[in-house]
């Protein structure tokens, strides 16, 4: 299993640039449109207002906000900066905004959205991993149940389970399945050392906390 994060806060993802791939198929006239360039054919003042001026305008009953597409270069620089740091201090934000000819608020919002996308991707990957883990545990459980049935059926055979206390072999007839954790135990409910599945120790703490209480 290759995708297990060591911790949810430290997962590094390689995510394709949002909207970047899809933009490749755009007509060049659209793809190369630079939102920071003044559109030809007038409306210069409006354009400057939308890009650099007071951002409260649209919330005060002004003209409806216009959704802007970031250019490839802006996206590239933002991604690059995001790779170095997932958060920006005010100075970095200001500098980046200057460099990109955007408002600091736009840079801030972009980072917020980018963090959200990153988190979403991470959650999806964790979900996928847990699904697969669940599947393999289910299969393992099935196998163990079959094994128990077989052992019960062949009572005459030599016992294969040792008591953790006495190290004496336990008769198969004394073995039961714990209804809670579905582990095979002896009827004396010995508390021997338990082992988690191979990867269990690397699952995030959230997952760990949902495991059954150590009653078995």
Partner DNA sequence: TCGGACTAGCCCTTTACTTCA
Partner DNA sequence: TGTGAAGTAAAGGGCTAGTCC
119 lines the binding site for DNA (CB under 7 A): yes
Among 18, 49, 181, 207, contact with DNA (rule: CB under 7 A): 18
Supply the minimum distance, in Å, between the C-beta of residue 69 and DNA: 6
170 interacts with DNA by CB under 7 A: no
Euclidean distance between CA atoms 151 and 19, whole angstroms: 58
User: Among residues 17 and 181, whose Cβ is nearest to DNA?
Assistant: 17
Q: Which residue number, 66 or 191, has a Cβ lying nearer to DNA?
A: 66
115 scored as a contact of DNA (CB under 7 A): yes
Among 9, 14, 25, 209, binds DNA (CB under 7 A): 25
Contact 5, 126 (CB under 8 A): yes
105 phi, psi to nearest 5 deg: -60, -40
| Distance separating alpha carbons of residues 107 and 111, to the nearest angstrom | 6
CB of 90 to DNA, least distance (A): 4
First CA to last CA distance, the chain: 28
The yes or no reply on residue 29 touching DNA (CB under 7 A) is no
Contact (CB, 8 A) for 144 and 184 = yes
Residues β-bridged to residue 185: 176
Q: Does 122 bind DNA (CB under 7 A)?
A: no
């Amino acid at each position: 299993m290759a995708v297990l994060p060591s911790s949810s806060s430290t997962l590094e993802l390689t995510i394709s640039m949002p909207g970047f791939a899809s933009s490749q198929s755009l007509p060049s006239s659209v793809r190369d449109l630079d939102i920071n360039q003044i559109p030809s054919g007038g409306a210069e003042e409006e354009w400057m207002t939308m890009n650099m001026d007071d951002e409260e305008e649209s919330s005060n009953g002004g003209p409806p906000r216009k959704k802007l597409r970031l250019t490839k270069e802006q996206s590239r620089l933002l991604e690059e900066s995001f790779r170095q740091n997932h958060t920006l201090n005010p100075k970095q934000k200001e500098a980046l905004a200057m460099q990109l000819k955007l408002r600091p608020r736009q840079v801030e919002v972009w980072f917020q959205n980018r963090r959200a996308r990153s988190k979403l991707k991470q959650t999806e990957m964790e979900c996928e991993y847990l699904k697969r883990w669940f599947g393999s545990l289910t299969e393992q459980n099935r196998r163990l149940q079959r094994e128990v049935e077989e052992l019960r059926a062949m009572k005459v055979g030599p016992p294969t389970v040792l008591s953790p206390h006495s190290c004496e072999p336990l008769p198969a007839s004394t073995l039961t399945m714990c209804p809670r954790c579905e582990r095979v135990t002896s009827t004396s409910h010995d508390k021997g050392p338990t082992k988690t599945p191979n990867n269990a120790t690397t699952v995030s703490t959230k997952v760990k906390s949902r495991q059954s209480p150590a009653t078995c």
